[in-house]
Amino acid sequence: MTGLSLSMRIAQGLMKIGLAMKANEWRESAKLQLSPTQAQILAALATQGPLRLSELAALLAITLATASDAVSSLAKKGLVEKRTSEQDARALSIVPTRAGQKAAKAVAAWPDFLATAVDTLSPDEQVTFHRGLVKMIGTLQRRGQIPVARMCTHCTYFRPNVHAGSHTPHHCDFIDSAFGDGFIRIDCDDFIAATTSEGWDAWVARGSATQ
């Protein structure tokens, strides 16, 4: 059979999913009288805590001007406020108000429609798909094409393949627990960036997916 390569057909499929997510984001944000960018900022603040304007812009891959406009709109709606940063008294951090936290919870539920589609995959298919996503995200961020994700594979606590031969070959030093590819986190609150790429390289080289 001629035509597009398998990699291009997968890319097409991901684009279709991306369009579905974007349409859902616009639809749901309109219900809350928010722009998608404003909703993304609330979600980021809910999961990562207070952030500076520059940190928000970098995290969401938007310009400082776009981030500033969105934060100003959220502040006018009473959903965020600016406070002196705990790390630097000369800087300001963006913090969600109680109303903002409530709105953020609604935003966090938006991917549920996609999760129901993922549930149609078998457990083995989900683990393989998850590993593929982690590898793609890691590759894109190493190329500087997307913001850095707080993933296990790039964390200083990650010890890949130290329990070889088991269904839980990896180890997290932070919680002192073994786990498999199906439990690799893409966004972890306890993430601390590794100083080398050894963990990522060893994980990629292993090449097989386990739960």
Domains and CATH numbers, the chain: 6-112 (1.10.10.10), 121-206 (no CATH)
Nearest Cα neighbor of 152 from 177, 128, 121 is 177
pLDDT beyond 70 at 209? no
pLDDT digits (tens, 9 = 90+) for 57-102: 998 989 999 999 999 999 999 999 998 877 766 778 999 999 999 9
pLDDT at position 2 is 59
Res. 138 pLDDT band, cuts 50 70 90: very high
pLDDT digits (tens, 9 = 90+) for 144-168: 888 888 999 999 999 999 998 899 9
Cα distance between residue 37 and residue 141, in whole Å: 21
- This prediction's pTM: 0.77
Which helix or strand (DSSP H or E) is residue 19 part of? helix 6-31
- Name the DSSP class of 97: -
Mean pLDDT (whole number) for 119-128: 94
